[in-house]
Amino acid sequence: MQGHPKPTTDAEMNWATRYFVGPDYLKAMRIPLLAGRFFTPSDDDKAPLVVVVDEAFAKQFFGNRNPVGQRIELTEPEGEAEIVGLAGHVLEWSLLEDTPAVNAPPMRAEIYLPTMQVEAGVMRLVVPGANVVVRSDAPTANVLAAMRQASAEMNSEQVLSNVETMSDLVSDTIAQPRFTTMLLGGFALIALLLAMIGVYGVISYSVQRRTNEIGIRMALGAERRSVFRLVLGEGMRLAVVGAAVGIVAALALTRLLVGMLYGVSAHDPLTYGAVALVLGAVAAVACWLPAWRATRVDPMVALRYE
């Protein structure tokens, strides 16, 4: 690699995940091409070696420099290749992890090599088979039938196996986190319901204890809406204090849930704001009925109430 000393041992070599692909791979996978070009049919065994690298590769080995036009040394296929394009980074290992989970060299960098420039002998050593990516708006069964027919026309001994849609692959990847999220969501819903019942019970009990006070206020000319605001405000103050305590506790405990979060940071202000609004709405609903009942109090009955 230009600007880097040549490794003398395998331990000193730079590692990257390799993809041997055809010219339309980026289009099929909808991976953005950020600079340069992708492969064309002319990138065959008679053309000079070319590669496309991803953002992680460029940042790791070239910093802020544009990698297009730079040259790197490959081991398989062996030789010096020119970087002709820069592609977006792909989460290879899962949607939650960007490095291998096994004891292997840490690899985030990715490079793409044109299949037509890889010798057949090397390809057999690299992979026992080929993965075919097909993007289509047609039903899956129709696409699969067409693929089997095309494969048989090319070579009757070829076999298509392990056929999966991209949605199935993504679903399998997040199955465990989804189950955990649903379980926690169920507990959260139960907790929200219990909180609503608790707020309702506390405010109802408070209104009952203050029946005399409410009757006196209304006998002295207090309007029903002012009594309603009084009771509702008391309940909402209780909810605000509870939400503040909950947010502080959540900020302290979210580091334990970081591994279960995808696409949301552990301290996402929008999420905390939305949760606070939901809790406020639930508290308002729980306080509404006791506040409404307070406005129905008959002052004469309330003054005799013990």
Residues of the chain with pLDDT under 70: 1-13, 94-107, 119-129, 255-266, 297-306
Q: Mean pLDDT across the chain, nearest whole number?
A: 79
pLDDT of residue 39: 93
Over the chain, what HEC string results? CCCCCCCCCHHHCCCCEEEEECCCHHHHHCCCEEEECCCCCCCCCCCCCEEEEEHHHHHHHHCCCCCCCCEEEEECCEEEEEEEEEECCCCCCCCCCCCCCCCCCCCCCEEEEEHHHCCHHHHHHHCCCCCCCCCCCCCHHHHHHHHHHHHHHHCCCCCCCCCCCHHHHHHHHCHHHHHHHHHHHHHHHHHHHHHHHHHHHHHHHHHHHCHHHHHHHHHCCCCHHHHHHHHHHHHHHHHHHHHHHHHHHHHHHHHHCHHHCCCCCCCCHHHHHHHHHHHHHHHHHHHHHHHHHHHCCCHHHHHHCC
Residue labelled with tokens 């909402």 = 236
pLDDT tens-digit map of 25-52: 998 899 999 999 999 989 888 889 999 9
